[in-house]
Amino acid sequence: MKFYNIIIKYRLWLSLVAIVGAIILNVTGSAGFWPTFPLYFVGVIGLFSQFFIGPLRLIQAPMEAGNIEEVKKILNTVWFPNLLYKPVRSTFYTIKGNISMMEQDFDSAEKHLKKSSDIGSPMPEAEGANKLQLGMMAMQKGDLKQGESYIRAAIRLGIPDKESEAVAYLSMCQIFMNKREFRAAKDFFRRAKALKPKTKQVLDQIKEIEKYISKVPG
């Protein structure tokens, strides 16, 4: 695995060395085309995979270790994101969006996540998580209409974990409370509680909403 990661890390330069070496052998007459064909083949395949697939496989280890600076360095080696295969490009922008959110750069986060959403994902749950993030950012900006649209789309597509799904329902609850549609708000609140979330932040949000939702009609 480590060897494969090293190959990916230096794939571009190794590919260029292979192609340049083959050209030099041809030009100097040291070897004909067919003897150097394997060098050309390896070089072209390496360049193709560098720009079509990219180095995103290298991100897993630093992400798990919480080394965000290393993740950013790897992402910065993607010079032409538009050349990436669509699912890889979608993942690329999702990761950039998540990093921007962690750094509280919400404008950049929204830009990257919208790009990812526009591209789409082969996994509906991943797209659902993306829509949920966009919905949460819209709500932070006070755009409840846009927030509702994104969060509805997230719920429809499916959200990969119960904690995030509970957040989606609680957000919808808040939106409908604001619209004074109390019956719908209570329904979303019940759905959130039924998921039995365990995250302290989500539990605190449930307790806060519970203080006043029982007092409203509907």
Indicate whether 88 belongs to any domain. no
Q: What are the tens digits of pLDDT across the range 41-60?
A: 999 999 999 999 999 989 88
pLDDT > 90 in the chain, percent = 62
The verdict on residue 183 lying in a domain is yes
The CATH number assigned to the domain holding 153 equals 1.25.40.10
17 inside domain: yes
Asked if residue 198 belongs to a domain, the reply is: yes
Residue 25 lies in a domain: yes
**Beta carbons within 10 angstroms of residue 107's beta carbon:** 10
Q: Are residues 218 and 136 in the same domain?
A: yes
> Phi, psi (5° rounding) for residue 215?
-90, -10
- Does 119 map to a domain? no
Position 103 in a domain: no
Q: pLDDT tens digit string along 85-112?
A: 998 999 899 999 989 988 888 889 999 9
Size (the chain), residues? 218
Asked whether residue 138 falls in the same domain as residue 213, the answer is yes
Q: How many domains does the chain contain in total?
A: 2
How much is the pTM? 0.76
CB distance 31 to 54 below 8 Å: no
From the list 212, 132, 200, the residue with the least C-alpha distance to 172 is 132
Domain hosting 178: range is 132-218
**Is 70 a domain residue?**
yes
